[in-house]
Amino acid sequence: MANFNTHLNVAFMVSGTMSLTVYKAGLINDFGFLMCVALGTIGGLLPDLDSDNSTPIKLGFNITSFIFAFGLVMHWRSELSLLALIALWLAGYGSMRYVVFSIFTNMTVHRGVIHSVPYMAILGLGLTYFSYDVLHLPLAVSWFYGLFLFGGALVHLTLDELYSVNLMGMKMKRSSGTAMKFYQHKDKWWYLLLYVILAILVYFAPPFDAFWQQLRDPAPWAQLKLGLWPEMIKNWLN
């Protein structure tokens, strides 16, 4: 499979290129551009959350543990003594970093249901729903955020599949087919749950038709065409 640096760099390059495209078309603003790059890059690391020793899961749980401990202290800061707050800080961090992390790693298997297309689609749709209905962001921005997260995950899964091909001998490795998964019979009940959740999210998702109409509007793409080439090249072509 591809290593951490490969996933990180390729996801960053792909999401950066796509983000620049929709930015130059005027479909997202400066902040939206930065968020799409970040979400696409994060998406490129998400499928390895089921790997106990992967950099993304360790980094993710470290950050989550700090945030969880900080939230506990901020909530109780006016009601507890200094020593109690220190104990709460350490207990909050320790329970999340070691107890929850241990439970999570014991419950997940590398390249299991987390390392699959429907799971990543749930995360992407969930982000779209959260952005639009909770954060009240514009429709197009919400869909772009979800699509970039999902797209980054697809880049990860595609890389893993490409690395499962022995190009020198032009044959498939044993890991072939374990990355870009839509279903695995041994986890049929988990996949049933995933597709039920996915169907619910699709049903309650923000209106896609309106977003699609925005993408089909020729005006943004005409704007992109005008800014496609540097002025010197455009003058040369004309």
Selection from 152, 156, 150 nearest residue 121 by Cα: 150
Residue 16 in tokens: 């950066």
Tell me if 173 sits within 8 A of 111, measured CB to CB.
no
At 167 the pLDDT is 42
Question: Has this prediction a pTM greater than 0.85?
Answer: no
DSSP alpha helix (H) spans, the chain: 4-24, 30-43, 55-76, 82-94, 101-107, 117-129, 139-162, 188-204, 208-216, 218-226, 231-237
Cα distance between residue 48 and residue 114, in whole Å:
8
- What is the four-CA torsion angle of 166, 117, 54, 96, rounded to 10 degrees? -170
User: Tell me, what amino acid is at 110?
Assistant: H
At 123 the pLDDT is 86
DSSP bridge partners of 166: 171
At 214 the pLDDT is 85
Mean pLDDT of each 10-residue bin along the chain, 238 residues long: 74 89 86 88 76 61 74 82 88 81 58 75 89 88 92 86 56 53 72 88 88 85 70 53
Tell me if 147 sits within 8 A of 225, measured CB to CB.
no
